[in-house]
A and B are shown apart, each in its own frame.
Chain A
Amino acid sequence: MKKHTNLLLLATENLLRHKTKSIVVSLCIIAILLPFITAIAISEGVRLQSLGSVEESADLYLTFDEFGRNAAIPLKYLDEVKEVFGVKKVVPRIIGRCYLQDKLAVIVGIDKEYLPESTTCVTGRIFENANEVVIGNELAEYFNLNIGDQFSMRGQNRKLFTIVGFFSSASNIWSASTIFMPFEDAGDLFGKREFATDIQIYSVPGHNGEIATELYYIFENEPYRLQDKGMIELYVKKGFMLKEGIFTALYTVAFALGIPAILVASGFGLSERRKEIGIMKATGWQTLEVLELISFEQLLISLFGATTAILLSIIWMKCFNGAFIAQFFIGEINLLPEFAVPAKFLPLPCLLSFFFAIILTMVGSIYSSWRASTESPVAALK
């Protein structure tokens, strides 16, 4: 035990003694890990929020299908769908996008009694009359809007909206740029009355199958599309895996460039190290003891590098809102008003990055050290 303590202490001293090398290696580790940790945290955060908003939504989504994409569905089917056995509630929605000056806003047209539960008015009230809107906190802050202010969307100035309330939502990606308005106003705004972008169906548990069969007869030859919650959830997850995939691909390139950097850095003073090992072996150190010392050094520097990277990543999220990295995961982030990018630091990725660091530093040092400590001391001292 005392021996291992001694070796651990010596490892610490060695790192402090070779400051330049230690700093360079730590910087390499941090440069490699920082984007990785930040990206994982953002992707986790965004995913949790998205899944959260899927969670509180309807059981079935009904749209039309055009060229394999979701398309608007005529409202004339609404009453028929309402009558299907097992259907509790049908909610037509219009979801669209519009520019408010230079920022992209998500317009949600919905009857006021169907506003999502997680959306709570922090100030003002829910819309009551035509042309009244409730807008997201961040959007209001960005444009410095107040209750009672009137505005119109870019390119659609015949319609004038009045702000009656601000809301915040549990998922702040949504609240960032969303404008809620009455269903009819949204139809007007996009010039498509008698249509909904989708119809949300709330069903009695266990009746989704029957509902689907019934809808098949209602729509007969119409190209409709029915999706359930699980599928939507899957899409969200898939979307994230794709985005993560793109990021991973880019990151792998950076990682591949980082490895030689670390190798070069940990190769600093390798001949000096070799000689040192020769001296240690000549004065009675065992090969295993030498390797233990060197492993301790790598362990310590990895621990230091990884911890610093995690802390910096947290700071990066707090102070810079994940700049440069968030756009990989949130499309059009530059077009949205500023909002706090969600991030969640899970223990597993943190642990993983620590292992990354260990592997990188070990690769850089263990082989050469092993070579030096298994040849004869005379050879190592050459």
Chain B
Amino acid sequence: MIRTEKLCKYYSIHSRHEVHAIRDINLNISKNTFVVFNGPSGSGKTTLLNIIGALDRPTEGKVFIYDEEITSFSDIGLSRLRREKIGFIFQNFHLIPRLSSWENVSYPLIPLGISFRERFQMAKLLLEKVGLGDRLDHAPEELSGGQQQRVAIARALVNNPEIIIADEPTSNIDDETSEHLLELLKELQTDGVTILVATHDAGFEKIADEIYKIKNGRLE
């Protein structure tokens, strides 16, 4: 379902020194698998997930989703892909300040023409699912790190994605909550969702179908 070919991302700093964030990544992930990426800080996990999640373009190489080469998609095509197939949970949440939890969760639905009432219902359901049913009207500034994380998770689920990509989803939450998140993701997998997680959390490795180790931008 997700396939990468010789994926590379270079960053040039001061136009000379190139940082090879990832290089020659070849992946083949089938539908409905639970994949974990593991590696030290700076090894390129975020870079890889951003590219697979259609948030960034690689310097070289190709990404295929359902045998479609998304790396050749236009801006519109990528937006559509993100809207229809991918739910992304960022390492640092990226919630919109001053908007309440439910507004943040339902924000992706606004351009779909879904009514206020429906949006609220959908957001409420998801927030209850992540255990934030009593924090619907709180802005990110009024939530703890772990709670913000959960709002971000609820937002990633709001478009019923087929692929969920989570970048260190448990780095800000305690063991109990991360246990809860693990269950939630497992549950989604049984619903047919493909899950990609970058993490140091050993708990994930136990339930993962596939584990990839990344070091210095390469798969080991």
Interface residues of A (CB under 8 A from B): 1-3, 5-7, 9-10, 17, 272, 275-276, 278-287, 289, 374, 376-379, 381
Once A1-B113, A3-B113 are accepted as A-B contacts, the answer to whether A284 and B83 lie under 8 Å apart by CB is: yes
A376–B113 Cα distance when bound, in Å, is: 24
Do residues B94 and A275 form an inter-chain contact, with CB atoms below 8 A? Answer: yes
The minimal Cβ–Cβ distance linking A294 to chain B, given in whole angstroms, is 13
- CB-based contact A284/B84 at 8 Å: yes
Query: Which of A3, A285, A381 is within 8 Å of B108, CB to CB?
Result: A285
A66 to chain B, nearest CB (A): 74
Which has the most chain B C-beta neighbours within 10 Å: A5, A6, A281, A379?
A6
B159 close to chain A: CB less than 8 A: yes
Contact B113 A287 (CB under 8 A): no
Chain B contacts to A: CB under 8 angstroms: 50, 55-57, 75-76, 79-80, 82-84, 88, 90, 94-99, 107-108, 110-116, 155, 159
The one of A7, A272, A279, A379 in contact with B111, judged by C-beta atoms closer than 8 angstroms, is A7
Contact between A3 and B55, CB atoms less than 8 A apart: no
Residue of B nearest to A1 (CB): B113
> A285 with B79: in contact, given A378-B50, A378-B55 (CB under 8 Å)?
yes
The answer, among B79, B113, B114, for a CB contact under 8 Å with A284, is B79
Q: How far is the CA of A377 from the CA of B79 in the complex (A)?
A: 10
CB-nearest residue of chain A to B94: A279
* A5 / chain B contacts, CB cutoff of 8 Å: 113
Instruction: Say whether A276 contacts B96, CB under 8 Å.
Output: yes
Q: Which 5 A-B pairs have the closest CB atoms?
A: A284-B83, A2-B113, A3-B113, A283-B108, A378-B56
Minimum CB–CB distance from B103 to chain A (whole Å) comes to 9
Binding site secondary structure of chain A: helix
Known: A6-B110, A284-B79, A286-B76. A377 touches B55 (CB 8 A): yes
Chain A residues with CB below 8 A from B99, complex form: 17
Query: B110 contacts which chain A residues (CB < 8 A)?
Result: 6-7, 10
Give chain B residues whose Cβ lies under 8 Å from the Cβ of A282.
55, 82, 88, 90, 94
Contacts of B57 in A (CB 8 A): 376
11 A-B residue contacts at CB 8 Å?
A1-B113, A2-B115, A3-B111, A6-B110, A6-B115, A278-B94, A279-B95, A286-B80, A287-B76, A377-B56, A379-B56
Kindly identify which residue among B56, B75, B80, B112 contacts A3, using a CB–CB cutoff of 8 Å. B112
The answer for the CA separation of A377 and B99 in the assembled complex, in Å, is 20
Q: How far is the CA of A381 from the CA of B88 in the complex (A)?
A: 13
Contact indicator A6/B84 (Cβ below 8 Å): no
Contact, CB under 8 Å: B98 / A381? no
Which residues of chain A have C-beta atoms less than 8 A from B155's C-beta?
A: 283
- Tell me whether A6 and B94 are in contact (CB under 8 A): no
A284–B88 CA distance with the chains assembled, in angstroms? 10
- Which residues of chain A come closer than 8 Å to B115, judged between CB atoms? 2, 6
Residue of B nearest to A290 (CB): B111
| Nearest A residue (CB) for B79 | A286
Write out the residue numbers on chain B whose beta carbons fall within 8 Å of the beta carbon of A281: 79, 82
Which of A275, A283, A378 has the most chain B CB atoms closer than 10 A to its own CB? A283
Instruction: Apart from A283-B107, A283-B108, A284-B82, list 20 A-B contacts with CB within 8 A.
Output: A2-B113, A2-B114, A2-B115, A3-B111, A3-B112, A6-B113, A280-B107, A281-B79, A281-B82, A282-B94, A283-B83, A284-B108, A284-B111, A285-B79, A285-B108, A286-B80, A286-B111, A289-B111, A376-B56, A378-B56
> Which residues of B have CB within 8 Å of A276?
96
Report the Cα distance A115→B89, complex, angstroms: 86
Q: Which of B55, B79, B159 has the largest number of chain A CB atoms within 10 A?
A: B79
